[in-house]
């Protein structure tokens, strides 16, 4: 009996230590990537808002907290890639810590380890924990908001209940300020928080203090949401919400996110369609379990809380499309589903697994999350690299190209650089931050003589043979740096000038 007690004490401590070490490893990877990866297209447009092109502040690229943080770091610590991405690295630490705190609520260590893999080893999501784009901050605030919501759920009849709900609500608002698409997380969160203020273990008890707290919550968040919606309507009026899907939630939101999760790995067969079907099927099963648990068995499990949040986050894009014709979120705009879906999945299996049993029912209930975590871990090992970034692969060597030009130009001043439109923002970022006054401002529309050309491989094919000398070839980013002959003239043409900014 003494030995059994010792094992029970050591097992949770050991699993916690292992997960903390894994978290430290992931954070170290993000720090390395933040310090070494070139500043990307969208990050450079954020930097341009308070430097050379304030007009970008009127676009959806302007995520308020992200822009503010980048500007603060620029003033305090300079313009190195690592300095400008500090807030995202802090966000990754918060996401990891809050996630571990929630996973500790799971009884089974197997679910804890599986949950860590599913929540953290998504290679597509990890890109946004080193880039200064706002998505990483929003995910961190989302996870922190869920953690405080769990704390409130555990303190429903005790002290600290309302404080935890207020902190959860604040985190939801900060997630929206970090990235507007997280409004689809914040609204269901506010609905659940309001319900928890009125619903306790014994049923509906609208006491006076709860009603006052609920009214204060509605008033404060009502003002906040009104300001956010006003800005969103202005952006829509300027045609900023052109990016999204028109087919359906599953086809657009789920499928495109799964494709991004695959991270460009060419697996055999329609893997994206299979995974989309599995995710949709698990959501349907979770809905049946939640309805049966909450309304039939009258058990207000933590799983039900996560499912109601997930269901609200799914319903909102559908309603927005049907009522206001808002396009369905696609690709990275669906990142806010990761914590909601994975925690719903994990606590669903926790609810199904028999308590205190080691029989076949427990094995079966834990098999699905273990298999899912195993597949995710294998995919992570195949696809993840600290030297690449899925959406902005083409910017991997922008800094190298600028430095190569600086070393090759001699005393030539000014230097005219012709470029692919996708590379223009990051080229200007290095021109401004390195104080390269010898380099003429890089634009998306150029023609005439050019001293250097930095283009994608597809555009290089259009350059006349013998007109340039190759200075650098970067296979992973599919870009090429060329020095032009003095007599050669080039024009970007329609193909190089027709790009639109990203979100």
- pLDDT at position 126 is 98
Q: Can you tell me the mean pLDDT for 11-18? A: 78
Q: What is the pLDDT of residue 12?
A: 60
CA 40, CA 350: separation in Å to the nearest integer?
Answer: 41
- Is the CB of residue 310 less than 8 Å from the CB of residue 340? yes
Lowest-pLDDT choice from 171-175, 215-219, 299-303: 299-303
Segment 74-107, tens digit of pLDDT: 999 999 999 999 999 999 999 999 999 999 999 8
Tell me, what's the pLDDT at 15? 83
How far CA 337 is from CA of 219, 322, 385, 491, in Å, comes to 27, 20, 23, 44
Rounded Cα–Cα distance for residues 493 and 245 (Å): 29
Residue entry with tokens 């909450």: 294
Please report the pLDDT score of residue 209 as a whole number.
Answer: 72
- Pairing mode of beta strands 447-449, 489-491: antiparallel
Q: What percent of the chain has pLDDT over 90?
A: 65
3-state secondary structure of 467: coil
DSSP of 55-86: GGGGSTT--HHHHHHHHHHHHHH-S-HHHHTH
- State the average pLDDT over residues 283-304: 82
Angle between helices 302-324 and 337-352 (to 10 degrees): 140
Identify the band that residue 495 occupies on the pLDDT scale cut at 50, 70 and 90: very low
**What's the token pair of residue 234?**
């202005």
Using 50, 70 and 90 to split pLDDT, how confident is the model at 321?
Answer: very high
pLDDT digits (tens, 9 = 90+) for 452-470: 999 988 888 888 888 899 9
Mean of the per-residue pLDDT values of the chain: 88
**Banded model confidence at residue 357, pLDDT cuts 50, 70, 90:** low
Pairwise CA distance, residues 137 & 255, whole Å: 24
- Tell me the C-alpha to C-alpha distance, in Å, between residue 27 and each of 24, 55, 76, 393: 5, 34, 23, 21
CA distances, 366 to each of 136, 299, 353, 375, 502 (Å)? 30, 21, 7, 15, 41
**Bridging pattern class, strands 489-491 and 417-419:** unpaired
pLDDT digits (tens, 9 = 90+) for 180-233: 999 999 999 999 998 888 775 545 455 677 777 777 888 888 888 888 888 888
Identify the burial level of 324 via C-beta atoms within 10 angstroms of its C-beta, where 0-12 means exposed, 13-18 middle and 19 or more buried.
Answer: exposed
Q: Per mean pLDDT, which range of 9-18, 114-123, 488-497 is the poorest?
A: 488-497
Distance CA 240, CA 326 (A): 11
């Amino acid at each position: 009996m003494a030995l059994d007690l010792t094992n029970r004490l050591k097992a949770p401590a050991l699993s916690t230590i292992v997960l903390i070490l894994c978290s430290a490893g992931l954070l170290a990877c993000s720090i390395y990537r933040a310090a070494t990866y070139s500043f990307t297209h969208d990050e450079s447009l954020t930097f341009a808002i308070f430097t050379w092109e304030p007009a970008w502040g009127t676009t959806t690229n302007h995520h308020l907290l992200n822009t503010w943080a980048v500007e603060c770091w620029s003033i305090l610590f300079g313009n190195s890639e690592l300095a400008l991405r500090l807030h995202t690295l802090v966000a990754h630490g918060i996401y990891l810590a809050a996630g571990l705190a929630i996973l500790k609520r799971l009884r089974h260590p197997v679910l804890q380890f599986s949950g860590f893999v599913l929540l953290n080893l998504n290679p597509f999501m990890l890109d946004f924990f080193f880039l200064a784009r706002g998505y990483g901050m929003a995910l961190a605030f989302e996870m922190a908001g869920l953690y405080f919501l769990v704390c409130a759920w555990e303190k429903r009849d005790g002290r600290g209940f309302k404080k935890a709900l207020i902190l959860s609500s604040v985190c939801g608002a900060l997630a929206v300020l970090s990235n507007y698409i997280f409004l689809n997380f914040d609204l269901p969160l506010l609905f659940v928080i309001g319900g928890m203020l009125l619903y306790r273990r014994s049923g509906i008890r609208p006491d006076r203090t709860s009603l006052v707290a609920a009214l204060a919550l509605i008033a404060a968040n009502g003002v906040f949401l009104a300001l956010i919606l006003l800005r969103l309507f202005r952006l829509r009026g300027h045609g900023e919400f052109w990016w999204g899907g028109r087919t359906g939630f599953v086809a657009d939101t789920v499928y495109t996110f799964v494709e991004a999760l695959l991270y460009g790995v060419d697996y055999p067969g329609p893997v994206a369609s299979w995974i989309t079907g599995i995710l949709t099927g698990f959501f349907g099963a979770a809905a049946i379990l939640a309805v049966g648990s909450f309304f039939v068995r009258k058990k207000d499990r933590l799983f039900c809380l996560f499912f109601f949040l997930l269901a609200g986050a799914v319903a909102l894009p559908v309603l927005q499309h049907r009522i206001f014709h808002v396009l369905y979120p696609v690709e990275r705009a669906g990142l806010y589903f990761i914590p909601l879906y994975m925690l719903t999945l994990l606590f669903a299996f926790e609810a199904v697994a028999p308590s205190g049993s080691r029989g076949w029912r427990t094995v079966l209930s834990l098999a699905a999350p273990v298999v899912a975590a195993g597949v995710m871990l294998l995919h992570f090992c195949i696809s993840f690299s600290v030297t690449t970034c899925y959406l902005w692969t083409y910017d991997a060597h922008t800094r190298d190209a600028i430095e190569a030009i600086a070393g090759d130009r001699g005393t030539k001043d000014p230097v005219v650089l012709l470029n692919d439109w996708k590379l223009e923002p990051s080229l200007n970022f290095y021109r401004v931050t390195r104080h390269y006054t010898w380099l003429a401002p890089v634009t998306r529309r150029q023609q005439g003589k050019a001293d250097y050309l930095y283009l994608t491989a597809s555009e290089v094919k259009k350059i006349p043979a013998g007109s340039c000398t190759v200075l650098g070839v970067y296979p992973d980013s599919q870009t090429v740096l060329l020095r032009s002959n003095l007599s050669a003239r080039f024009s970007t043409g329609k193909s190089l000038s027709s790009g639109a900014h990203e979100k």
